[in-house]
Amino acid sequence: MKKFSSFAGTVTMIQNYLVNSEEDLKGCFKLMSLLRGDGSIVNFVISSTTYFLDRVMVSVGDHVTGFYDVNLPVPLIYPPQYQWSFTFHI
């Protein structure tokens, strides 16, 4: 069963994200960095399966809330890097 958590913040960077496996090459990937009010940073991998509510276009400087499946594996790196499932643009 999927269990979701969220992270809200201001978008500080959006860049292309390279993937390793041939299976992952089927779509476009982006890496989006968010900065929270407490100064913590989190990266989200955006794929062709990421759902953007109302098909909104997100840009640097926008405030968003992203939701991710807490059961998916996460690389042990800083800042943390999650697979984003869906987002709300605030």
pLDDT per residue as tens, the chain (90 positions): 778 888 899 999 999 887 665 555 556 788 899 999 899 998 888 887 888 888 888 999 999 988 887 877 666 666 666 666 665 555
Q: What is the CATH number of the domain that holds 43?
A: 2.40.50.140
66 Cβ contact partners less than 8 Å away, ≥ 6 residues apart: 6, 7, 8, 32, 34, 44, 82, 84, 85, 86, 87
Range list of H helices, 14-88: none
Q: Is the pTM of this model over 0.75?
A: no
Q: Domain range for residue 36?
A: 4-19+27-89
User: Residue 81's CB: how many other CB atoms inside 10 A?
Assistant: 16
Total domain count for the chain?
A: 1
